[in-house]
């Protein structure tokens, strides 16, 4: 009798705890601080060389037992690999891009920490997240520019619009989806466009750095964001991009402690933010301010929080329940701080 009761209780418990596939509640998310702490100290420097990136990614691939897969999205004019790292196997695809401008490095260490934090630990939440989304990251999209600490790619034959003649092209002006890829002179842009066409990501986030600016209320801006503003981007994609912007604004503000404004970007369709919105993705530009060196870790944490919050929101669908109209309440970026160190045309994203 007692054993029959015990079996009935077990059955009942089973009915409670074994929900049907697809209806299972998501395991609760570890805090970003806990996730960040899973990555070992010294995994990657703040301004990594291509060799630092290679070494860190190799270490992650090994430590993750293959859950972080390494690939090459293309080759630069100096034959450096444009590195691609992928975590997760879910049907919702995400694409993050870092350091298209070689002198804007901090998105790259953030991506490397995120790859560790999502790929190496193997908790129920990690397994759930990886079953829902596949995150592709083009890590340090401009390695030739990175080794020169320059904005442009390396192409001494560069000429025409959006180039620095004799130096190279501005990679982030060559994503125009209306240009046939084979006519595109920039190998880094071609690689990212081909990655987009291979995976049709629901979400694209592109990480850059800007100079130093004040908020309208006088505090210093630590990050600015913007969604597609090209008139060629459809209403649905812009609406989802604005949801992505609000989600990132909230996480960066309330979790990372960032002061976030709206980036004053242009409408040109060759800018990644616009191009991938035109193609139909939720698309976002994230610009970390070039704060003094002692705040580099804070800036890396802001980008890390953005990457985790975007992944979580895509995995549990909460991203698409955000009120995108709130994007209009993100304050416009204020005036430039005097004596701020200038990036090369950093104001141009």
Q: Which is nearer to Zn ion, 84 or 106 (CB)?
A: 106
DSSP, collapsed to helix, strand or coil, labels residue 271 as coil
CB of 83 to Zn ion, least distance (A): 18
Neighbours of 90 (CB within 10 A): 17
Strand order, beta sheet including 260-262:
68-75, 81-87, 133-139, 92-98, 203-210, 282-289, 223-226, 260-262
Q: Which is nearer to Zn ion, 116 or 213 (CB)?
A: 213
CB of 210 to Zn ion, least distance (A): 8
CB of 46 to Zn ion, least distance (A): 17
Contact 125, 119 (CB under 8 A): no
CB of 14 to Zn ion, least distance (A): 53
CB of 318 to Zn ion, least distance (A): 29
The two most distant CA atoms of the chain are separated, in Å, by: 88
Q: Which is nearer to Zn ion, 52 or 104 (CB)?
A: 104
Given the rule CB under 5 A, which residues bind Zn ion? Answer: 101, 104, 208
Q: Which is nearer to Zn ion, 208 or 301 (CB)?
A: 208
* Closest residue to Zn ion, based on beta-carbon distance: 208
Q: Which is nearer to Zn ion, 93 or 101 (CB)?
A: 101
Rounded to whole angstroms, what are the CA distances from 116 to 72, 133, 286, 309, 317?
A: 18, 16, 21, 15, 23
Determine if residue 149 is left, alpha or beta; phi over 0 gives left, psi from -120 to 50 gives alpha, anything else beta. Answer: left
């Amino acid at each position: 009798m007692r054993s029959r009761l015990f079996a009935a209780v077990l059955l009942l418990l089973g009915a409670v705890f074994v929900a049907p596939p697809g209806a299972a509640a998501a395991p609760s998310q570890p805090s970003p601080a806990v996730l960040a702490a899973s990555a070992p100290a010294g995994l990657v420097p703040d301004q990594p060389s291509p060799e630092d990136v290679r070494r860190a990614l190799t270490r992650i691939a090994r430590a993750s037992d293959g859950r972080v897969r390494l690939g090459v999205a293309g080759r630069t004019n100096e034959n450096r690999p444009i590195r691609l790292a992928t975590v997760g196997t879910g049907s919702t695809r995400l694409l993050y891009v870092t350091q298209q401008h070689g002198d804007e490095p901090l998105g790259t260490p953030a991506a490397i920490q995120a790859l560790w934090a999502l790929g190496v630990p193997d908790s129920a939440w990690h397994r759930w997240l990886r079953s829902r989304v596949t995150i592709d990251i083009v890590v340090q999209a401009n390695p030739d520019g990175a080794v020169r600490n320059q904005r442009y790619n390396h192409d001494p034959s560069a000429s025409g619009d959006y180039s620095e003649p004799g130096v190279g092209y501005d990679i982030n002006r060559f994503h125009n989806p209306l240009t046939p890829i084979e006519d595109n002179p920039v190998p880094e842009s071609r690689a990212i466009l081909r990655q987009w066409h291979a995976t049709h990501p629901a979400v694209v986030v592109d990480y850059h750095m800007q100079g130093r600016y004040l908020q309208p209320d006088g505090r210093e801006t630590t990050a600015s964001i913007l969604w597609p503003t090209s008139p060629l981007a459809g209403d649905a994609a812009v609406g989802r991009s604005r949801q992505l912007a609000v989600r990132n604004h909230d996480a960066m503000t309330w979790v990372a402690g960032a002061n976030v404004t709206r980036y004053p970007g242009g409408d040109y369709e060759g800018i990644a933010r616009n191009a991938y919105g035109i193609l139909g993705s939720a698309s976002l530009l994230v610009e970390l301010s070039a704060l003094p060196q002692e705040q580099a870790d804070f800036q890396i944490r802001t980008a890390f929080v953005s990457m985790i919050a975007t992944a979580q929101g895509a995995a549990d669908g909460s991203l698409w329940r955000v009120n995108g109209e709130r994007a209009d309440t993100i304050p416009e970026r204020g005036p430039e701080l005097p004596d701020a160190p200038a990036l090369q045309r950093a104001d141009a994203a």
